[in-house]
Amino acid sequence: MIKTKIFDPLNKPTEAEKAEIVNFLFEHLQEYGDAKKDILKAFDYALEEFVSFGGFTMTISENDEILGATVINKTGMGGYIPENILVYIATHKGHRGKGLGKTLMQAAIGRAEGDIALHVEANNPAKKLYEKLGFTNPYLEMRLKK
C-alpha cells in the first residue's frame, strides 16, 4: 500500500528522514539534479529552517521504501509570478513507468495553494507528464549569472 508523508513547518522530519529524502532526490534525479547541499537548502526553505515563505516536501513510499519525493517552495508572490515553485521531483529509478510520478504530482498539486511554476529541461522525459497535467510553457526563461 502506497503511503504519503508531508513535511512542512508544522510537521518537520527527523534528521534521519531529512537525510534519507535528500539522498533519495540526489540519487534519483540523476542528470537533472543538483548537489546535495542545494537539495537540502530547498528542503530547509520549505520547512522554514531560516527566514522563508515555506512550502512542503512530500514523499510516497511502500514498505518503508521511498518511491517518490517532491519539494515545493512558496514564492511569496502571486498573479505576476506563481505562488509556488516545484523545485524537485523524482521517482525511484527502479519503479518508473508505474504512474508514481503522476500520483505524486497530482497529490502535490492538490496540496499546493495557488499556481505552480517549475523548470524542466527540454529533453527531460517528465516534460510530457507535466504537459498532460496542465503545465504550459508561455515564457522563455533567461538568466544572468553573477
Instruction: Give the CATH number of the domain where residue 19 resides.
Output: 3.40.630.30
pLDDT at 55: 98
Q: What is the mean pLDDT of the chain?
A: 93
Task: Specify if 102 maps to a domain.
Answer: yes
Domain with 24, as residue range(s), is 3-132
3-24 residue pLDDT tens: 999 999 999 999 999 999 999 9
Task: Specify if 141 maps to a domain.
Answer: no
Q: Name every residue whose Cβ is closer than 8 Å to that of residue 92 and which is 6 or more positions away in sequence.
A: 24, 28, 65, 66, 67, 68, 100
Helix (H) / strand (E) containing 129: helix 126-132
What burial class does residue 120 get, using C-beta atoms within 10 Å of its C-beta: 0-12 exposed, 13-18 middle, 19+ buried? middle
Task: Specify if 104 maps to a domain.
Answer: yes
112-144 residue pLDDT tens: 999 999 988 888 888 888 888 888 888 878 888
Task: Specify if 142 maps to a domain.
Answer: no
Task: Specify if 69 maps to a domain.
Answer: yes
Give me the number of domains the chain comprises: 1
Task: Specify if 17 maps to a domain.
Answer: yes
Task: Specify if 85 maps to a domain.
Answer: yes
**Percentage of the chain exceeding pLDDT 90:** 73
**Hey, is 35 helix, strand or coil?**
coil
Q: Name every residue whose Cβ is closer than 8 Å to that of residue 126 and which is 6 or more positions away in sequence.
A: 32, 89, 101, 120
In whole angstroms, give the CA distance from residue 48 to residue 100: 27
Task: Specify if 144 maps to a domain.
Answer: no
